[in-house]
Amino acid sequence: MNKYKKYVKNIKLEINKCFSLKELNLIKLKYLGRKGEITKKIKSIKDLSVNKKKKFSILINKIKKKVQNLFYLKKNYFNKINIFKSNIKNDIDISLSYKEPIFGSIHIITQIINDIQSYFSNFGFSIVFGKEIESNYYNFDALNIKKDHPSRNKKDTFWFNSNFLLRTQTSSVQVRVMENCSLPIRIISSGKVYRNDSSLTHSPMFHQIEGLLIDKGISFSNLKWMMYNFLKNFFSKKIKIRFRSSYFPFTTPSAEIDIFNKNSNKWLEVLGCGMVHPNVLKNVNIDSKIYSGLAFGIGIERLTMLKYNISNIRSFFKNDLRFLKQFK
């Protein structure tokens, strides 16, 4: 055992004295090559007696593994030295300025939706989602929209057949919630809606967010307070707001809300709202003599365009990084 320990020690000294991979490979051939010393000792096991074979094979394999590890460590050391020398030769300029990595960000439309949902969540509103392919009943009939209403026309709406269409509003989600949820109801629903219209301020696909509150004793005063505070929070406490009487088939009384734009010196419409129509409540088996409700619908693109003074709605869908990077 002492003899073989000394043998390994001598090999280690020999390895440590070499100064190149070429020298190291020559030493490796000397001991571990086909005709190497350790290889010869392993081959000589067959000539030993049965008792000696076991002891000697265990010992020589330990020596082989130890020597292999010594060669591996030395070779790894030379590789690191060569990499270092190569870097110096290639003149890497470590004084170059740091290049900031490019990170993505949430799209401004998604940011605005999240902000609005977060605001109304503070008032106990739950977030719900609905289908983009909707039936005639949920998109029109249940919302008290008459058969001859212009929005049912093929020029305004994308129809699949006489019964199914791409939803024109997220109000259809409200109907499904009123059918299936227990009272009182307080929900916010956002998503894509589709209308056959295209211009600088209109897109065939855009985003809406709808709010619905059904409970006992809900009045137009509640609606006015809620919308007034939301717009003050979203735009600015100094913003001028006005309620203007309007008409929607699914609410009565109904109102559109305008804000005063200082840049154009004009009043601009930002959203529609009203008290849920008794016929809509009747369609979902809610007693309008006991319960009342408020509802509002917001066009996300329009709200965002007014907040950031964006003139072309197409900017949201062009994937222009110069535009999108402004809203990190």
Tens digit of pLDDT for each residue in 236-266?
Answer: 878 899 999 999 999 999 999 999 888 778 8
Do 166 and 104 contact (CB within 8 A), yes or no? no
Whether the per-residue pLDDT at 90 is higher than 80: the answer is: no
Do 139 and 128 contact (CB within 8 A), yes or no? no
Counting Cβ atoms within 10 Å, is residue 239 exposed (0-12), middle (13-18) or buried (19+)?
Answer: middle
Query: Which residue type sits at 254?
Result: S
CA max distance for the chain: 111
Closest CA to 208 of 317, 308, 109: 109
Quick one: average pLDDT of 308-314?
87
What's the fold here for domain 108-327?
BirA Bifunctional Protein; domain 2 (3.30.930)
Tracing tokens 């086909």 back to the chain, one arrives at 34
Do 8 and 17 contact (CB within 8 A), yes or no? no
Residue 191 φ/ψ, nearest 5 degrees: 160, 180
Share of the chain above pLDDT 70, in %: 95
Whether the per-residue pLDDT at 215 is higher than 90: the answer is: yes
Q: pLDDT tens across 150-171, in order?
A: 888 888 899 999 899 999 999 9
Do 15 and 71 contact (CB within 8 A), yes or no? yes
Counting Cβ atoms within 10 Å, is residue 173 exposed (0-12), middle (13-18) or buried (19+)?
Answer: buried
In the structure encoding, which two tokens stand for residue 312, read together?
């072309």
- Higher pLDDT: 90 or 13? It is 13
Do 32 and 72 contact (CB within 8 A), yes or no? no
- Can you spell out the DSSP letters for 264-327? TTEEEEEEEEEEEPHHHHHHTT--TTT-EEEEEEEEHHHHHHHHHT---GGGGTS--HHHHGGG
Give the Cα separation of 184 and 186 in Å (integer).
7
Q: Quick one: pLDDT band at residue 225, thresholds 50, 70, 90?
A: very high
Tracing tokens 């000397």 back to the chain, one arrives at 30
Q: Quick one: pLDDT band at residue 297, thresholds 50, 70, 90?
A: very high
Confidence at residue 287, expressed as pLDDT on a 0 to 100 scale: 94
Whether the per-residue pLDDT at 293 is higher than 90: the answer is: yes
Give the Cα separation of 205 and 256 in Å (integer).
22
Closest CA to 111 of 190, 166, 188: 190
Whether the per-residue pLDDT at 89 is higher than 70: the answer is: no
Whether the per-residue pLDDT at 212 is higher than 90: the answer is: yes
Residue 122 φ/ψ, nearest 5 degrees: -65, -20
Confidence at residue 184, expressed as pLDDT on a 0 to 100 scale: 93
Quick one: average pLDDT of 14-36?
85
Quick one: average pLDDT of 26-32?
86
Per-chain mean pLDDT for the chain = 87
- Can you spell out the DSSP letters for 78-122? HHHHHHHHHHHHTT--TTSPPPPPP-----HHHHHHHHHHHHHHT
Q: What is the pTM of this model?
A: 0.66
